[in-house]
A and B are shown apart, each in its own frame.
Chain A
Amino acid sequence: MSPQNAQTDHTAAISTRGVTRDFPAGQDVITVLHGIDLDIRAGELTFLVGESGSGKTTLISIMCGILWPTEGEVQVFGTDIYDLTDTALVEFRLANIGFIFQQYNLIPSIDAAANAAVPLIARGMAVEEARAQATEMLDALNIADQADKLPSQLSGGQQQRVAIARALVHEPRLVVCDEPTAALDAKSGRRVMDLLREVAVAEDRACIIVTHDNRIFDMADRILVLEDGRITHDGKDMPEEH
């Protein structure tokens, strides 16, 4: 681990202060987030929960530096990411954030190892070296034997593991996971969550999962409930009314 990645236990990995986000809607402006103040700690599996339209996708996009807030500031591991230049922000994401998308968004024409190696290749590593490193990650996820297969030749679960490998291969300090269990049955969903806890949660790494799947709420270390653009609950368990 590089010194840059060093992280003290339970310090704030992500810190948002007064984050507001407006979207134009014709002549009007809709405020989706209302002054969010939030600290996300490393070493925890943090769930961001809310109904559709509650603003959780907007909040997660702002926290990982792919959507500018209208107001407020966001610090990721001490860096005010929206003070960075565009290029610096992109490079910050590449160095520090791993993404697991709901639809995986694997590149269909390259094999599993190459897909998992994308962040390394984007950082300038030679393709073969990156593939070898990615294959080690696939091995940790028990699908090294599928490394040479195209995404279309893999099952949904295998594709998800490739997406997880892609998110972790460059050892990011923040892992963002969007609805990882939405398309899975309860048993498969819990298996994926076990896997994420095993590989994505670390003392020096923050892991945020955006979900509204109540079948897995018991697996969270911390649950944040977002309603109408405001945090309405912050605790280990879901409130009764949900």
Chain B
Amino acid sequence: MIWIAIRMLTGDRTKFYGLLFGIAFSTLLITQQLTIFVNLIERGASGVYNVAEAEVWVMDPVSRTTDIAYAMPTTALDRVRGVPGVEWAVPHLRANAAVRTDTGDLEQVAIIGVDDATLIGLPKGMVEGSRAVLSRPDSVIIDDVGTTRMFPDQPTPVGEVLELNDQRAVIRGMADSIPSFTSTVVLYTRYSQALRYVPGTRNRLSFVLAGAADGVAAAELARRIEAQTGLRARTRDEFAGDGVDFIIENTGIPFNFGITVVLGFIVGVAIVGLTFSLFIRDNIRQFGALKAIGVTNGKIVRMVAAQAGMVGAVGYALGLLGTVAFIWVFGSDPTFKGFYIPWQIPLMSLVAVALILAITGFFALRNVLRTEPAAVFR
């Protein structure tokens, strides 16, 4: 009977495509919006992810994320280096600056000062040039967001001269980094150079990045640093989580994306429910005839379940493909750079689709089961 059920479903092409559209659209909306949401809030941790080497981030106790940091005196670096279990510790500066291009455009940028000697703090991958270019005077490395925004019509920004807080900066490379939550243009330079670009306050050390000695866990090291220095120390994962939590707690993004996801679910229920009930209504005499002939209610339930299952499987696959296509098409845009679909999201969409089909299938099935076989003689 399953074969007949599937033929009944696919034979009515208009409704079949309508059902597929409903499920696919719902899946697309839910999966795509959740994907964007997750990737967007993970951008709150991009500053941490871009520094692969740092196992522990040390900061002033009031600092919260890579972008919200209260500068420490330079002595903090030595205090961290003095903690047992610290293999290495380097300074890390993050600040904002205004930059003027040679065409006169003004752009707010983030300056990241990385350790002069080891270049820890600089993303590992480079799109153009090498990390070593920072050893040259006035060198900065720009990220690809900056390249797209500040030099949209140029094949490469390398060689461009910028006026950075009234000082000369020469772009000598392009870093392969994860954009920040606000997609701010980022310029990487040596820590000593960054101090010149960002003059002003007495304390300018934003973070101390530390690595653990062999046999010392990052969490244990962070605990030791906090105990000995009075500074705040977070492991890489903890600090990444802090960045994500900050966005969740301080923006309307979860609420707004949540509304869209709920709308996707409601649209799915509406389209699929309406189309499914029309399909059942159009076939009610056939179902009645089947019941009269001797098809049990159990078999009818399995028939409707098979129809719902097929619509769900194909529609879900189409919706998921749509999301993958979306990520693939827009992947070249720096705004969506590095976007991926966490495995939990397709699972959540699957549950949503199953719920949509369970709700709509239940009402459709109720009509079929209520149909008296004797009705076929009327």
Interface residues of A (CB under 8 A from B): 57, 60-61, 64, 66-67, 86-87, 90-95, 97, 99, 101-103, 105-110, 114, 118-119, 121-122, 127, 166, 178, 210
Contact = CB atoms under 8 A, between A and B. Distances in A.
A99 B298 CA distance: 21
B337 to A, nearest CB: 47
Contact of B292 (A87, A93, A102): A93
Contacts of A127: 3
Given A101-B289, A101-B376, A114-B4, A108 B11 contact: yes
Range, interface on chain B: 20 to 34
B294 A110 contact: no
Interface in B244-286: 283, 285-286
A109 B378 CA distance: 23
A151 B297 CA distance: 25
B292 A110 contact: no
Interface centre among A106, A108, A109 (most CB of B within 10 A): A109
Given A103-B285, A107-B286, A109-B10, A118 B377 contact: no
A90 B286 contact: no
B132 interface: no
B290 interface: yes
A95 B294 contact: yes
B12 A109 contact: yes
20 contacts: A57-B377, A57-B378, A67-B372, A87-B296, A90-B295, A91-B294, A93-B293, A94-B294, A94-B295, A101-B377, A102-B377, A103-B285, A107-B4, A107-B7, A107-B8, A109-B11, A110-B11, A118-B290, A119-B293, A121-B3
A130 to B, nearest CB: 10
Interface in B205-247: none
A119 B296 contact: no
Contact of B299 (A97, A119, A122, A166): A122
A199 B372 CA distance: 29
Contact of A121 (B4, B286, B296): B4
B374 interface: yes
A66 B291 CA distance: 9
Interface of B: 1, 3-4, 7-8, 10-12, 283, 285-286, 288-299, 372-374, 376-378
Q: Which 8 A-B pairs have the closest CB atoms?
A: A109-B11, A94-B294, A105-B289, A66-B373, A93-B294, A61-B374, A67-B374, A66-B374
A172 to B, nearest CB: 10
A99 B293 contact: yes
B299 A60 contact: no
B164 to A, nearest CB: 70
A92 B283 CA distance: 24
A97 B294 contact: yes
A95 to B, nearest CB: 7
A166 B296 CA distance: 17
| Residue of B4, B7, B291, B298 with highest tally of chain A CB at under 10 A | B4
A57 to B, nearest CB: 5
A210 B296 CA distance: 25
A100 to B, nearest CB: 11
B19 to A, nearest CB: 14
Given A57-B377, A105-B288, A66 B372 contact: yes
Nearest to B16: A109
Given A66-B372, A99-B292, A107-B7, 12 more contacts: A61-B377, A87-B296, A93-B292, A94-B295, A97-B294, A105-B376, A107-B8, A109-B7, A109-B8, A122-B293, A122-B295, A178-B377
Contacts of B293: 93-94, 99, 118-119, 122, 166
A192 B290 CA distance: 23
A85 to B, nearest CB: 11
Given A57-B377, A66-B372, A91-B294, A99 B3 contact: no
A64 B378 CA distance: 15
A97 B4 CA distance: 21
Given A60-B377, A66-B372, A114 B294 contact: no
A117 to B, nearest CB: 9
A60 B373 CA distance: 12
A122 B290 contact: yes
Contact of A122 (B11, B294, B373): B294
Contacts of A108: 11-12, 286
Nearest to B289: A105
